[in-house]
Amino acid sequence: MDYEVLAKQILEKVGGEKNVIGLVHCMTRLRFTLKDDSLADKVEVEAIRGVMGVMEKGEQFQIIIGNNVGAVYKELCKLGNFDGTPDPDFKKDKKKQNIFATVLDVISGCMAPVIPAIIGSAMIKVLLTVLPMMGLLNNKSQTFELLNVISDGAFFFMPVLIAISAAKKFKTNPYYAASLGLILLHPNFIEMINKAHEANETLKFFGLIPVSYAVYAYSVIPIILAVWVLSYVEPFVDRITPAITKNFLSPMLVLLITAPIVMVIVGPLGSILSDGLSTIIYTIHDYLGFVAIGLVAGIYPFIVMAGMHHAFTPIKLSMIATTGYEAFICIAEFCSNMAQGASALAVSFKTKNTDLKQTAGSSAFSALVAGITEPALYGITVRLKKPMLGACIGATAGGLVGGFFQLKSFGVATPALVTIPQYIEEGRPSSLMYILITAAVTISVSFIASYMIGFEDIPNPEAEVVEPIVTKPLNTGLKMGSPLAGELVSLATVPDKTFADGLLGKGFAIKPSLGEVIAPCDGIIDVFFETGHAIGFTSETGVELLIHVGIDTVNLGGEYFTAHAKAGDRVVKGTKLLSFDIEKISQAGYDLITPIIVTNSQEYLDVVSHPKKIVTELEEVLTIV
């Protein structure tokens, strides 16, 4: 690969030399700090040959290169005067938003981290619909009731989950925040406020201050407002409490001040706002009828692109908690997802570009079957532009059909073909036929429209000289020990797609219990990153190993890491290579999960990690054949 050409292509797509105010690299990726993020075209960067992916974290535009990142970095430095770190006096101009956009952004930001828990619970609810229909589970049985508790837990205690993500959003203590959610859901508080409401009375603090009636289970907005208030109370209390009393007085005052404010003012206000937002949305539905579903389905991709789709989640949850179903947004989402998948499928059929054909096909499958539309949306329809029109036409058509049939959703699992059971209405067998017709109309119209409208195809790149892959003879590999002690977990659990998706090779990960890394076998240290967080190691048998301590720990700049070896050292099995302070790194907010990758996995028949849970240093964990 020509690294000079690759570097020039990357620099052009991130906005040129003048747009770069800082550039560093870690073991796998280039980390740009840009003056204007809008000048960096993420889709076009991802399309460059040699780029494995793009991530945007904080103020960094990160381009995943892999093992050759150092070579690309050197070529980039030849093209511009990049000193590694941004100008400390440079501050990005933050875009000003109106109040409505800001509110939606906050709700979306608080909802996004909670989505996996919601999806998991919702999928169990889908099972509770399917299994009784198939005669595999009695809906009067204890097993059904227990599964129902499991499926409902995340929804009932939604304020606690939201509190944790809201605490990160507002930069306040997550445990105080979770405590506020638990207070609102405490059985005694619920019983007291319900009894007062049923008796047409008002619960009062000190017999004077009224606590208005509100239902907080399944709610979202009240707890977001509560944590927002907490973010002001906590620093205020910290300022007024003497240092000698902070350990016990500060926590007491934080809760003693915040909780009553939440019970008396913020909670009820949030409940009113939530009801008001739902009223606005469903007034549109009531006024336009099934036409509203078609319109929302058609524009839904643009709502997703704006990052506001998560803001609909509290509205859907509130409606399902109140009526048992949702008949507007969920139907529009389903049609939008089907349309994106069908449009990507049309591209896969029509394109002559072999890479695009494969990408579009896998994106279509992801959207249609699993409801994951980002690959189709960002990688196909937005990228090629015209297929987006076909998807919008198909989604609108499907939304009109679904609305006409008065479809309802009884869950909030990701809209997809596999979650169709959540649209089946008890006592209305025809609802299954209606949802299937809606899916068929959406998919067929989107496919035909996208195929007929067409798009500007991407030409096949010139054939590159492919270096032959050298496959090691069978059984010449290595049974390798663990370089760390701790809990062995699947690479897929690492919260970084570079490692989790196997872009750098196969391997495993360790959640360390001891802060040291030792040589897992005899070999030589190829790379010992100056920040200490990553080591490149080659065994005497030729296995290339990457040991990456923690996620994004490069940002610590070497703090809390102590090197006991250096690049070029030849070491024997068991030699201490690195020590690190687990407690301080964790307190700094970094995840210490450590990916251990065989970076030349392609040279072997297979790389297999052993099914262990807890491992000690040098305990056998890997077989390479």
Q: Please, which pLDDT band fits residue 621 given cuts at 50, 70 and 90?
A: confident
Tokens 């059985």 sit on residue? 187
Q: Quick one: tokens of 461? A: 């790149």
Find all residues with CB under 8 Å of 169, minimum gap 6, and list them: 106, 109, 110, 227
Q: Confirm if 410 and 422 have CB atoms less than 8 A apart.
A: yes
Q: What is the pLDDT of residues 575-613, one digit of tens each?
A: 999 999 999 998 888 899 999 998 888 877 778 887 778
Q: What is the pLDDT of residue 88?
A: 45
What is the rounded distance in angstroms from the CA atom of residue 301 to the CA atom of residue 392? Answer: 8
Q: Confirm if 220 and 107 have CB atoms less than 8 A apart.
A: yes
Q: What is the pLDDT of residues 77-96, one digit of tens each?
A: 888 776 554 554 455 555 55
- CB-hemisphere CA count at 13 Å for 74? 5
Q: What is the pLDDT of residues 203-240, one digit of tens each?
A: 888 888 888 888 888 888 899 999 999 999 999 998 99
Using a pLDDT cut of 90, give the percent of the chain over it: 31
**What is the number of H-type helices and E-type strands within the chain?**
22, 20
H or E segment to which residue 516 belongs: strand 516-518
Q: What is the pLDDT of residue 100?
A: 58
H or E segment to which residue 107 belongs: helix 99-111
Q: What is the pLDDT of residue 59?
A: 66
Choose among 330, 320, 322: nearest CA to 285: 330
More confident residue, 33 or 235: 235
Q: If you average pLDDT over every residue of the chain, what do you get?
A: 84
Q: What is the DSSP letter of 556?
A: G
H or E segment to which residue 480 belongs: strand 478-481
Average pLDDT over residues 570-574: 90
Phi, psi for residue 416 in degrees, rounded to 5: -165, 175
In three-state secondary structure terms, 102 is helix
Q: What is the pLDDT of residue 1?
A: 60
In three-state secondary structure terms, 469 is coil
What is the rounded distance in angstroms from the CA atom of residue 607 to the CA atom of residue 478? Answer: 10
What is the rounded distance in angstroms from the CA atom of residue 40 to the CA atom of residue 35? Answer: 10
What is the rounded distance in angstroms from the CA atom of residue 520 to the CA atom of residue 623? Answer: 13
pLDDT of residue 363 exceeding 70: yes
537 in the Ramachandran plot: left (φ > 0), alpha (ψ -120 to 50) or beta?
beta
Q: Quick one: tokens of 425? A: 């209405």
Q: What is the pLDDT of residue 101?
A: 59
Q: What is the pLDDT of residue 380?
A: 83
Tokens 């008890």 sit on residue? 426
Find all residues with CB under 8 Å of 286, minimum gap 6, and list them: none
Least trusted range by pLDDT, from 27-31, 402-406, 442-446: 27-31
For the chain, the C-alpha Rg in angstroms (whole number) is: 27
Q: What is the pLDDT of residues 243-279, one digit of tens each?
A: 888 888 999 999 999 999 999 999 899 888 877 777 8
Average pLDDT over residues 151-165: 90
**How far are the Cα atoms of 6, 8, 22, 95, 613 from residue 76, in angstroms, in the given order?**
9, 7, 12, 29, 43
The DSSP line for 219-286 is --HHHHHHHHHHHHHHHHHHHHS-GGGHHHHHHHHHHHHHHHHIIIIIHHHHHHHHHHHHHHHHHHHH
Please give the order of strands across the beta sheet that includes 607-609: 478-481, 620-624, 607-609
Bridge partners (DSSP) of residue 53 are 64
In three-state secondary structure terms, 437 is helix
Average pLDDT over residues 144-164: 91
Query: One of 26, 330, 335, 392 is an active-site residue; which one?
Result: 26
Q: What is the pLDDT of residues 416-429, one digit of tens each?
A: 898 899 899 888 88
Q: Please, which pLDDT band fits residue 408 given cuts at 50, 70 and 90?
A: very high
Choose among 503, 599, 491: nearest CA to 545: 599
pLDDT of residue 414 exceeding 90: no
Q: What is the pLDDT of residue 476?
A: 47
- Other C-beta atoms lying within 10 Å of the C-beta of residue 241: 18
H or E segment to which residue 336 belongs: helix 329-350
Using a pLDDT cut of 70, give the percent of the chain over it: 89
Average pLDDT over residues 113-142: 83
What is the rounded distance in angstroms from the CA atom of residue 556 to the CA atom of residue 532? Answer: 10
Tokens 């029109």 sit on residue? 389
Least trusted range by pLDDT, from 58-72, 141-155, 319-333, 403-417: 58-72
Please give the order of strands across the beta sheet that includes 523-528: 570-571, 523-528, 534-539, 544-548, 594-598, 506-512, 486-489, 614-615
Where b means 16+ CB within 10 Å and e means fewer, 453-490 reads eebeeeeeeeeeeeeeeeebeeeebbebbbbbbbebbe
What is the rounded distance in angstroms from the CA atom of residue 399 to the CA atom of residue 291? Answer: 8
Q: What is the pLDDT of residue 104?
A: 63
**How far are the Cα atoms of 47, 124, 238, 595 from residue 138, in angstroms, in the given order?**
51, 15, 55, 44
Domains in the chain (CATH in brackets) are 3-79 (3.30.1360.60), 103-283 (no CATH), 478-624 (2.70.70.10)
Q: What is the pLDDT of residue 466?
A: 46
> Is 26 marked active-site?
yes
In three-state secondary structure terms, 473 is coil
Alpha helices in 50-209 (DSSP H): 69-79, 99-111, 115-133, 142-156, 158-170, 174-184, 187-198
Q: What is the pLDDT of residue 332?
A: 93
Least trusted range by pLDDT, from 91-105, 381-395, 400-414, 418-432: 91-105
Q: Quick one: tokens of 351? A: 């394109």
More confident residue, 358 or 332: 332
What is the rounded distance in angstroms from the CA atom of residue 578 to the CA atom of residue 555? Answer: 17
Q: What is the pLDDT of residue 67?
A: 60
> Cα dihedral sign for 15, 373, 343, 346?
positive
566 in the Ramachandran plot: left (φ > 0), alpha (ψ -120 to 50) or beta?
beta
Find all residues with CB under 8 Å of 25, minimum gap 6, and list them: 31, 69, 70, 72, 73
What is the rounded distance in angstroms from the CA atom of residue 520 to the CA atom of residue 453? Answer: 57
In three-state secondary structure terms, 406 is coil
pLDDT of residue 17 exceeding 70: yes
Choose among 56, 271, 58, 254: nearest CA to 172: 254
Q: Please, which pLDDT band fits residue 463 given cuts at 50, 70 and 90?
A: very low
Choose among 310, 368, 361, 370: nearest CA to 340: 368
Q: What is the pLDDT of residue 150?
A: 92
Q: Confirm if 165 and 112 have CB atoms less than 8 A apart.
A: yes
Q: What is the pLDDT of residue 307?
A: 55
Q: Confirm if 235 and 241 have CB atoms less than 8 A apart.
A: no
Tokens 């579009």 sit on residue? 360
